[in-house]
Amino acid sequence: MTTVDLNADMGESFGPWKMGDDAALLRVVTSANIACGGHAGDADVMAATMRMAHENGVGIGAHPGFMDLAGFGRNRMAVPRGTLRNQIRYQVAASVGMARSVGAEVRHLKLHGALANMASEDEGLARDLYEAALSVAPDLIVMVLAATAQERAVKSLGCKWAGEIFADRPYNDDATLVDRSKPGAVIHDASTAAARMVEMVKAGAIITESGKHIPTRIDTICLHGDTTEAVQIATAVRKGLQDGGVTLAKFGGSV
């Protein structure tokens, strides 16, 4: 039986400002990456999103990023390493305790935005940040961008992890994503996206644009839900995977 997890970012509203349709998305995914108040989210949003995820049987993940609300954690910042580690601790800690207070539990960690991009290029950074998160919650399953420096970091740490691929982004032969500036860099057709995912999950490999197979552990597929269209695509990808014989379930997070 081929099984995979579906994950999406959520809990990214802030104060009076809404982002995404988390309620709809929670009916699609099996794991939710919930913002921790660093790049998005506030105490109300975290509590409500975690409660909703828990009620839907969706796994809860901490989703920390640069502490830059105005920039939504999308700008690279040269924050000193020790400070960055403490900021990860702070955000993960807030998530873990907030989850407990609503009767739920944080199962996994996924880095957000520019910080995730930097960690996918720099194994030392990734390891430092994961270690900081694990110092707060040693049983966290670390979600990594498959076949990047993030994956090398979890392997060298020996912690539980889950490998992630993107539903809507084609890959280069070195396992990086095709640059957004190129034509076809984002797949907008749900059936195409679903078919690719079925193929990759069954192959146990990233299949690049050129057709090359890069064997890797595929535990979870990243979906987007920040727009109404995105939720529709996510729903269609889910159906496509099920129709293709793939079982959807929370990842286990083996070492």
In the complex, which residues of this chain contact a copy of itself (CB under 8 A)? 13-19, 37, 40, 42-44, 46-47, 67-72, 74-80, 82-83, 86-87, 89-90, 92-98, 100-102, 114, 132, 135-137
Task: Output the CA torsion sign for 121, 124, 127, 130.
Answer: negative
- Angle CA(6)–CA(246)–CA(208) in degrees, nearest 5? 75
Min dist. Cβ of residue 27 to a copy of itself (A) = 24
Burial (CB < 10 A; 0-12, 13-18, 19+), residue 174, is exposed
Minimum CB distance to a copy of itself smaller for 46 or for 149: 46
Minimum CB distance to a copy of itself smaller for 67 or for 175: 67
Minimum CB distance to a copy of itself smaller for 62 or for 165: 62
Min dist. Cβ of residue 131 to a copy of itself (A) = 10
Q: Which residues, 6 or more positions from 119, have their beta carbon under 8 angstroms from its beta carbon?
A: 111, 125, 126, 129, 149, 150, 153
Minimum CB distance to a copy of itself smaller for 163 or for 225: 225
Min dist. Cβ of residue 143 to a copy of itself (A) = 19
Task: Output the CA torsion sign for 241, 159, 109, 213.
Answer: negative
Min dist. Cβ of residue 36 to a copy of itself (A) = 9
